[in-house]
Amino acid sequence: MKKHLYHTYVLTNPSRTSFYTGVTNNMRARLERHRQEAAAYNKKKYTGRYNCIHLVYIEDHEWIQDAIRREKEIKGWTRAKKLALIRSVNPDMRFLEVDW
């Protein structure tokens, strides 16, 4: 039986002033979809409106329920707490997709 891997992730815009938290099982495809929304300036989508196209945080989960629970937890946090989480593993807030 194939093991599934789910990701809770945080994206930011080029100036690192806005954050988006989401869940996916295919990070590359999901990031591409966010970029298409931003390129089309899709105001109905948060990532399109705020140009959140850069990955700054990702964590893996074996179960989708855990990934969704974590997404909801992070979304409820203050900006300061989200920044602390990101900086705990990515102190310079590098765009992680560059390493792919």
pLDDT digits (tens, 9 = 90+) for 22-66: 999 999 999 999 998 888 877 778 888 899 999 999 999 999 999
Domain 6-99: state its class.
alpha beta
Q: What residue ranges do the domains of the chain occupy?
A: 6-99
Does position 3 have pLDDT exceeding 90, yes or no?
A: no
DSSP assignment, residue 89? H
The closest of 40, 29, 38, 30 to 10, measured between CA atoms, is 30
Amino acid at 54: H
Residue 43 tokens, joined: 């105001």
Average pLDDT, the chain: 93
